[in-house]
């Protein structure tokens, strides 16, 4: 480090001077960059099969870079998969780079202007619109990933990565939310079955709640953390269950307030903390910790939690049940998907397509379930008896058919608005109706801004 630094320092200062002058003047070099990459993209996508064939014949070695977030079991599996892939494709070397989960989005984005970029990138589906509208990604080549194929094989929730008629990313695995319930605490409260309806959930959580003489929680009936999974539960669970609708067909309008269902669902969610007082934010640090340590009887959480529960709380006696339903059934789902950045062309593009096809293959999806605990994204793979009959995986998979994945235009922004609305009621005693109306208006504004930007382009 010392050495690098000594060499670069004088150069850096010089370069910095010239750069600042150049930067103030304008960005000619950047513009040419863009025009070349956008010109190259369609050319490359029109005939990938030919080029794929050509490149596998040639002995030229290609190295591609794969970026994903840091999650021990996932990193280990990807390393294993890379080995398998490289054995099948001796010409291709895959390099994996990891970023911390919490800051993944900005770490990735901040590297892009520096000219560093991956060839295949793992992104949360809710970030896709932003990445697509800023021109960072290219659509998945039709030849490698035919649209009809995707729509046939995958669960309909992957529709969230279809923007402007093309798919921009494809997942290996998906996740749904379900009820995690502590069996010991259920036995203690004499409850035989996990709750199946909205009403039962309220009744059970009240019965399960335990407080000490100082009115402090000993056991939360329902762990309640709006910023964790509850906002998903609202959008894709409670709201449709109550008969409401999330988004208009063209994804431009928030329809929460168009039927009474929106407010009803919002009120239902808030009542747990405000009216029934069966749980609240921040107790036992957070919902997951509360559940892990036996301080929460029920938690609404995702299939991705199975892995960490197994390692951190191996003795916890818990079960999984589908989300309680009301007028209909619905469960929130989400996924991390792999995409190819716009600048990837030529041999690298071919190698990236191959790697992506490998990552979404049946075999890999199966390994993924075993090692990471996430659900296969393809129906045929997920509905194998082995998984359906699994006590923990089964309930998650059975919900996939009626699951929904909200089309986020700004995942953090929308979540923040939801948490703020809930906190307004909880902490500032704002009436629920007002908080809800504000929430819808502010979320709508996010959408309006996004579409105004997109329409301008």
Residue 306 · residue 313 · CB < 8 Å: no
For the CB of residue 429, give the shortest distance to another protein in the complex, in Å. 12
Percentages helix, strand, coil for the chain (3-state, rounded to 5) are: 55, 20, 25
What is the footprint of another protein within residues 295-334 (CB under 8 A)? Answer: 295, 308, 312
Choice from 57, 60, 113, 452 touching another protein (CB under 8 A): 113
Choice from 39, 49, 102, 248 touching another protein (CB under 8 A): 102
Instruction: Match 């190295």 to its residue by tokens.
Output: 63
Mark the segment that binds another protein (CB under 8 A) among 22-30, 246-254, 353-361, 385-393: 22-30
C-beta of 246 vs 411, nearer to another protein: 411
Does 79 help bind another protein (rule: CB under 8 A)? no
Residue 436 · residue 257 · CB < 8 Å: yes
For the CB of residue 154, give the shortest distance to another protein in the complex, in Å. 27
What is the footprint of another protein within residues 158-217 (CB under 8 A)? Answer: 214, 216
Choice from 40, 93, 111, 394 touching another protein (CB under 8 A): 111
Choice from 48, 227, 243, 394 touching another protein (CB under 8 A): 227
Residue 116 · residue 341 · CB < 8 Å: no
Q: How far apart are CA 347 and CA 61, in angstroms?
A: 9
For the CB of residue 303, give the shortest distance to another protein in the complex, in Å. 16
Choice from 45, 55, 105, 399 touching another protein (CB under 8 A): 105
Q: How far apart are CA 420 and CA 182, in angstroms?
A: 29
Secondary structure E strands in 216-310 = 217-222, 296-302
| Burial (CB count <10 Å: 0-12, 13-18, 19+), residue 50 | exposed
C-beta of 219 vs 377, nearer to another protein: 219
Does 232 help bind another protein (rule: CB under 8 A)? no
Q: How far apart are CA 145 and CA 128, in angstroms?
A: 17
Radius of gyration of the chain (CA): 24
Choice from 80, 106, 149, 151 touching another protein (CB under 8 A): 106
What is the footprint of another protein within residues 385-414 (CB under 8 A)? Answer: 410, 412-413
Choice from 93, 96, 97, 357 touching another protein (CB under 8 A): 97
Q: Pattern of binders to another protein over 258-287, x per CB under 8 A?
A: -----------------------xxxxxx-
Phi and psi, residue 181, nearest 5°: -130, 140
Residue 37 · residue 344 · CB < 8 Å: no
Q: How far is Cα of residue 175 from the mean position of the Cα atoms in its chain?
A: 8
Choice from 56, 159, 416, 437 touching another protein (CB under 8 A): 416
Residue 396 · residue 178 · CB < 8 Å: yes
For the CB of residue 294, give the shortest distance to another protein in the complex, in Å. 10
Residue 443 · residue 253 · CB < 8 Å: no
Mark the segment that binds another protein (CB under 8 A) among 55-63, 92-100, 152-160, 195-203: 92-100
């Amino acid at each position: 480090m010392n050495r690098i630094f000594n060499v670069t320092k004088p150069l850096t200062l010089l370069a910095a001077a010239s750069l600042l002058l150049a930067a103030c003047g304008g960005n000619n070099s950047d513009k040419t960059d863009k025009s070349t990459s956008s010109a190259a993209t369609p050319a490359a996508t029109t005939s990938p099969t030919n080029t794929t064939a050509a490149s596998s014949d040639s002995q030229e070695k290609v190295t591609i870079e794969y970026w994903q977030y840091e999650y021990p079991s996932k990193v280990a599996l990807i390393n294993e998969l890379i080995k398998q892939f490289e054995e099948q494709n001796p010409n291709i070397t895959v390099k994996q780079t990891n970023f911390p989960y919490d800051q993944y989005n900005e770490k990735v984005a901040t590297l892009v202007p520096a000219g560093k970029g991956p060839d295949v990138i793992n992104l949360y589906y809710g970030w896709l619109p932003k990445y697509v509208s800023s021109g960072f990604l290219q659509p998945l080549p039709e030849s490698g990933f035919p649209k009809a194929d995707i729509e046939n094989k995958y669960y309909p929730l992957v529709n969230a990565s279809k923007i402007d008629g093309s798919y921009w990313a494809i997942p290996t695995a998906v996740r749904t939310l379900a009820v995690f319930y502590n069996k010991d605490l259920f036995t203690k409260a004499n409850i035989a079955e996990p709750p199946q309806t909205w009403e039962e959930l309220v009744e059970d959580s009240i019965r399960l709640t335990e407080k000490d003489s100082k009115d402090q929680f000993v056991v939360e009936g329902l762990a309640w953390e709006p910023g964790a999974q509850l906002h998903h539960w609202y959008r894709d669970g409670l709201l449709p269950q109550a008969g409401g609708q999330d988004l208009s067909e063209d994804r431009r309008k928030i329809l929460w307030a168009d039927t009474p269902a929106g407010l009803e669902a919002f009120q239902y969610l808030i009542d747990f903390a405000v009216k029934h007082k069966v749980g609240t934010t921040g107790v036992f640090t957070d919902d997951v910790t509360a559940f892990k340590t036996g301080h929460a009887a029920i938690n609404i959480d995702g299939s991705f939690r199975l892995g960490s529960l197994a390692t951190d709380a191996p003795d916890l006696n818990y079960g999984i049940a589908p989300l309680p339903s009301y007028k209909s059934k619905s469960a929130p789902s989400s996924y991390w998907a792999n995409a190819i950045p716009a600048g990837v062309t030529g041999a690298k593009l071919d190698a990236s397509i191959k790697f992506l096809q490998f990552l979404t293959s049946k075999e890999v999806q199966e390994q993924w379930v075993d090692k990471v605990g996430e659900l296969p994204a393809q129906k045929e793979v997920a509905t194998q008896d082995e998984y359906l009959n699994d006590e923990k995986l089964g309930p998650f998979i059975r919900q996939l058919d009626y699951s929904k994945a909200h089309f986020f235009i700004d995942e953090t922004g929308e979540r923040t608005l939801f948490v703020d609305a809930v906190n307004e009621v909880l902490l500032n005693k704002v009436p629920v109706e007002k908080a809800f109306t504000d929430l819808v208006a502010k979320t709508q504004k996010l959408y309006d801004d996004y579409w105004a930007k997109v329409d301008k382009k």
